[in-house]
Amino acid sequence: MITPEILQQLAQSHGTPLFVIDHDEIRNNYRTFKQHLPRVQAYYAVKANPDPAIVRTLFDVGASFDVASMPEFNLVYEIIRDMPVKERQDWIWDKIIYANPIKANESLMELDKYKPLVTFDNLEEIIKIRQYAPNAGLALRIRVPNTGAMVELSSKFGAGPGEAVDLILEADKAGLTVEGLSFHVGSQTTNFDNFVQAINLAANIYSEALKRGYNKMNLLDIGGGFPAPYDQTVKPFSKLAQKINIELDRLFPPDIEILAEPGRFMVATAGISVAKIIGKATRDGKLCYYIDDGVYHTFSGIIFDHCQYHLESFKTGPTQICTVFGPTCDALDVISMSEELPSNLEIGDLLYSKNIGAYSGASSTWFNGFPPAKVIHLNR
């Protein structure tokens, strides 16, 4: 366990800002996922945090990978490249899904030699895949409810249930093999019924495809959306898993391969930010702290992920509602307008933020000349 004392020692040794990654926590999250969803193979969504050390840790414990760009694919490939060629090829075929439904022609051409599993959700994508990656296996992504998700995805991706089988048959007519279905209930989904509805929709499409003569599907990708425990309002993962297991066992026979794309769930709780107060002011009667990390760096999830991270102090004292700003000159660089912190903090004091491992440092920039936080890996 990474204690406040350890975080302070790291800040003293390495300076700030710091982004601390606990690999024991990553391994624990993977074990939890497999324990509660034993039928589901976890394909880590690399975009959640593409740090190579994280990918390596998950590879070592048995994870597969969901990639959505060629740089992400190549990141995973670097880890498996020492395998014998045949073993490497078989591993890619079985353990990587390219889960971006819209792919550039250039990406498809690069992917084709690996014979990967790729998602699609429209007729134009079938035409592209047939021309540029005819050796790929396909999974049709269907549109499902995203109600209550922190990040909604259904307006951007997914074939409507009414057109799903038509697309499967069009792909088959083009000489491609649709191996199964995929869906995504939205990122950080706390409405567990989204999964129930999506699994039922997928089962109905499977049934319709069989009635219309297509019997080549043998997998279901239940996507991501597994919520991280950011606060007490998030129900335990075991409760979600129970609902998923009931529906999978009821609707899909044991020979159907089930996979999922957990990203946030694997890494959110494994990341901790440590920052230093570099300025202090009172504006319109409200105490404001300025720290050396912000929304252009580790706290970028506030902008891109619609996530709010809370800050804690190593010092104690009377608290009040404060504003916390990042270090840049941009007015957008606001971490929180209502953070309860001690009022006696001074320049040079440290703050930390837990559960910041997903969709945070992955979007760091060098905006305004400020560098991203230094990444520290513990328990590798």
- Catalytic residue numbers read 329
Look at the alpha carbons of 245, 246, 250, 251 in this order and tell me if their dihedral is positive or negative: negative
- Beta strand residue intervals within the chain, DSSP E: 18-22, 40-45, 64-67, 96-98, 117-120, 137-141, 149-151, 177-182, 187-189, 219-221, 257-260, 271-283, 286-291, 312-313, 319-325, 334-342, 350-353, 374-378
Q: Cα separation of 118 and 61, whole Å? A: 24
DSSP annotation of 142: B
Both tokens of 46, joined, read 């690399």
Cβ atoms of 55 and 44 closer than 8 Å: yes
Q: Cα separation of 357 and 135, whole Å? A: 36
Write the single-letter amino acid at 292.
D
Residues 6+ apart with CB under 8 A from 96: 43, 64, 65, 66, 67, 73, 76, 114, 116, 117
Both tokens of 224, joined, read 């991501």
Q: Which residues of 62-98 are buried (b: 16+ CB within 10 A; e: fewer)?
A: ebbbbbbbbebbebbbeeeeeeeeeeeeebbeebbbb
Q: Which residues of 360-376 are buried (b: 16+ CB within 10 A; e: fewer)?
A: bbbbbeebeebebbebb
Say whether the peptide bond before residue 17 is cis (omega within 30 degrees of 0).
yes
**Number of neighbouring beta carbons within 10 Å of residue 210:** 12
